[in-house]
Structure 1
Amino acid sequence: MKAIVCNQPNEFTMIQKQDAVRGQGEALVRIHRIGICGTDYHAFRGEQAYFEYPRILGHELAGVIEYVEQNEYDFKAGDQVSIIPYMYCGTCIACRAGKTNCCTDMKVMGVHIDGGMQETVSVPLSALLKTNELSLDQTVILEPIAIGAHAVRRAEIREGETVAVIGAGPIGLGVMAIAKSRGAKVIAMDVNDSRLAFCQAWAGADGIVNVLNQPDEKLLELNGGELPTVVLDATGNLRSMQDAFRYVAHGGRLVYVGLVKSDITFSDPEFHKKELTLLSSRNATKEDFDVVIDAIRTEAVDASRFITHRTAFEQMIDVFDTWLDPQSKVIKAVVEL
């Protein structure tokens, strides 16, 4: 079968490899959609944390089961599925507490182990979600939006709260859409005006702030003279993540959704003065995927406008570089098989 390997930074190769071999308790899945995310871009550019080369990328996946034995989950050949790409041990302290998203021995497809940029994969049944009622396009965006859903759950966002989301990429957009579905007032923050406009059009953001233009004053103006009680940073940018402390109201919560390969510093007196709660949000759980499926059913999440760029599997290597160019205005690129 065909697969695309990232051999080293800035180098993809199409290869022929042995077909996936189904393991015990696994299903053989033929891949039909691959979403391209920030992790893939960072890995390609040599900027991804906890990453080794060579690696088959791809963890936003939609496919169809080709073969599966009789099982307790009632999966059958022909079922359309989403893959939850976070392979967990099931026995560590985090897994025993139901926090499989931060397993102590986490293996994320496309990061720690090979991912879905290949024609077939063998996947544990516990990592599959049946999506026969969704389209392939709706299925492939479940994972990035689920990361946003998990961050919203971590933040314990309440109806009527004002929430600022920094970063108007796919993850930030997912945070905004799910926060809006929870009844929050959402303010989108970014440095790109066209992306901020998309936040309003797609995610229904109630206000927008260009971080390059007096963001503190603009936040106060949009929220009746008060700062947001919840701020979620989905940038993966060191300066943004450190600046985010100053945007949170006294008694508020700051959630880091993005990851940066650096140490983060902040003013402890300011942190204590506000009695802030600082949280991280990693990956997602099945519960978060289920939240997104419901959001798609109720049209709170629209896959048709979220996916802005497409290419065939055989053409991906040729066009991948163009998606790295800000002028391409990519929100979500998808590879089709």
Structure 2
Amino acid sequence: MQAFQVRAPLDYVITEVDVPQAAPGEVLVRVAYAGICGSDMHIIHGANAFVRFPRITGHEFSGVIEALGEGVEGLSVGERVCIDPVINCGQCYPCRIGRPNVCTALQVIGVHRNGGFEELVNVPAANAYRLPENVSLESAALVEPYTIAANVLDRMQPIAGDQLLIFGAGLIGLTILQMARALGIEDITVTDVIEERLATAREFGATRTFNGREQDVEAAMRELTGGEGVPLIADAACVPALLPQMLRIASPAGRIGLLGFDVKPSDLVQLEVIKKELTLVGSRLNNRKFAHVLNLMSSGRLNPLGLVSHRLPLAQMPDAIHMLDNHPEKARKVLIDMTS
């Protein structure tokens, strides 16, 4: 069968691989759709310290159960599913306190083990979520990005009436925007430096947008809030140099959600944090958010297919990578149709 395999940094190929067998406690899934994520690009560029090569990437995917491993109950061959990529040990401190997404023995499908850019893939049965009847396989491939948004918003603990400022209108910024609206947050500002992305944010319901190249975002938010500051700030730009500005923009008792994996240090002015008693929270992957997102998707409160800018067969994945490397402004979510 065919798969997209990263053999080493900047060395990737569409290749033939062996068909896996359903292991005990696992299900074999015939992949229908898989999305290219920024973390897939980090693996390709050798910027992910956790991956071991060669690796079949892909952690955003949906498909149909092809076979059941020994001992699997509650799932059936032929059922449509999407896959939570987070695999945890269940024994360590984070797992014991209900934070399995930062398990000390964490494995991520598509990073630590092979993922969804192959025709058939083995996954733990507990990680397969049955789809509601009105959620398509195409939409279901986008559940995982929404869980990222759900997780960071949960970590930020919104309160009724809170304003939200999102730095970055890429894919994750747009999912945070949609998720925040689905959760009842009404006043949402989005800032970016690419006008096309800001236009999309407005289409998706942003209350207002600011272009950071053309406008003083800090001054604009100060005026907008009467000098009080913003209670919720989500960093979907993941640029360490922006943290001091976020600290200044945040209101007293504000919460800032951080998502970036950049190893460059940020300048943290402790005075800003202490005098306002700010809360800075990291957010990694998702903490059991798949069922929640599927419910929101089924209810029509999310618009997953609106995120998709390109649909391509697996054979064209190298072209998609080239586009994402050289013209990221042209793409939102690139979805690979594994059936074509």
TM-score by shorter chain over 0.5: yes
Aligned with 1:160: secondary structure?
Answer: coil
Partner secondary structure for residue 239 of structure 1: helix
Query: Cα offset for 1:228?
Result: 0.9
Q: 2:226, 2:279 → 1: CA distance?
A: 23
Counterpart contact for 2:23–2:70, Cα < 8 Å: no
Q: Distance in 2 between matches of 1:73 and 1:162?
A: 44
- Mapped to 1, the partners of 2:47 and 2:122 lie a distance apart of 28
Q: Which residue of 2 aligns with 1:324?
A: 325
Contact 2:241 2:267 in 1 (8 A): no
Specify the SS of the correspondent of 1:304. Answer: helix
Counterpart position of 2:173: 172
- 1:70 Cα offset (Å): 8.1
Aligned residue number for residue 270 of structure 1: 272
> What is the RMSD of the two structures over their aligned residues, measured on CA atoms?
1.8
CA displacement 1:41-95 (0-9 Å, x = unmatched): 2222223343333221100011100112586752101101010001111111111
Identify the residue that residue 20 of structure 1 maps to in structure 2: 20
Using the TM superposition, give the Cα deviation of residue 195 of structure 1 relative to its aligned residue in structure 2, in angstroms.
0.6
Letter in 1 for 2:249: Y
1:120 maps to which residue? 120
Quote the residue 1:182 is aligned against.
183
Which residue is 2:245 aligned to? 243
TM-score (norm 2): 0.93
- Report what 1:198 is aligned to: 200
Cα distance in structure 1, aligned partners of 2:264 and 2:31: 35
Matched residue of 1:252: which SS?
A: strand
Give TM-score scaled by structure 1 length: 0.94
Q: Counterpart of 1:74?
A: 74
Residue 155 of structure 2 corresponds to: 154
Aligned residues: 335
Q: Which amino acid aligns with 2:159?
A: R
Letter in 2 for 1:323: L
Structure 1 contact 110–116 (Cα < 8 Å) conserved: yes
User: Post-superposition shift, 1:128?
Assistant: 0.8
Unaligned runs of 5+ in 1: none
Contact 1:172 1:234 in 2 (8 A): yes
Structure 2: distance between partners of 1:244 and 1:326: 27
Cα gap change, 1:35 to 1:99, in 2 (>3 Å) = same
CA distance in structure 2 between the partners assigned to 1:115 and 1:86 by the alignment: 12
CA contact (8 A) 2:101 2:284 kept: yes
- Please list every run of at least 4 consecutive aligned residues from structure 1 whose deviation after the TM superposition is greater than 4 angstroms: 69-73
Q: What amino acid sits opposite 2:21 in the alignment?
A: V
Hey, what's the Cα distance between the residues in 1 that align with 2:277 and 2:107?
A: 35
In 2 relative to 1, CA 198–318 (structure 1 residues): closer, same or farther, beyond 3 Å? closer
Q: CA deviation at 1:328?
A: 5.3
Runs of 5+ unmatched residues, structure 2: none
Question: How many Å separate the matches in 2 of 1:324 and 1:163?
Answer: 30
Asked if structure 1 preserves the Cα contact closer than 8 Å seen for 2:33 and 2:63, the reply is yes
Render the CA deviation track for 1:186-217: whole Å, top value 9, x for unaligned.
Answer: 11121112111111212x11111222321111
Q: Deviations over 1:133-166 (max 9, x none)?
A: 2101110000001110011111111221001111
Give the C-alpha shift of residue 242 in structure 1. 4.2
Whole-Å Cα distance in 2 between the matches of residues 261 and 109 of structure 1?
Answer: 22
Q: Secondary structure at the match of 2:47?
A: coil
Identity %: 31
Q: Name the structure 1 match of 2:292.
A: 291
Q: Residues 37 and 17 from structure 1, CA distance in 2 versus in 1: closer, same or farther, beyond 3 angstroms? A: same
Distance 1:117 1:139 in 2: 15
Q: Distance in 1 between matches of 2:36 and 2:172?
A: 12
